[in-house]
Amino acid sequence: MTALSGSAADPAFDPEGRLLRALQIPSPNCDAREGTIPINLLVVHSISLPPGQFGGSAVIDFFLNRLNHAAHPYFEQLRGMEVSSHFFIRRSGEPIQFVPCLRRAWHAGRSQWKGRERCNDFSIGVELEGTDDSAFTGAQYVELARLTRELQRAYPIRDIVGHSDIAPGRKTDPGAGFDWGRYRSMI
Indicate which residues carry an active-site annotation: 127
Would you call 128 helix, strand, or coil by DSSP?
A: strand
Structural element, H or E, at residue 3:
none
Cα–Cα distance for residue pair 128/173, rounded to 1 Å: 10
Greatest alpha-carbon span in the chain: 48
DSSP assignment of 33-86 equals PPTT----EEEEEEE-SSTT--SSSHHHHHHTT---TTSSGGGGGGTT-----S
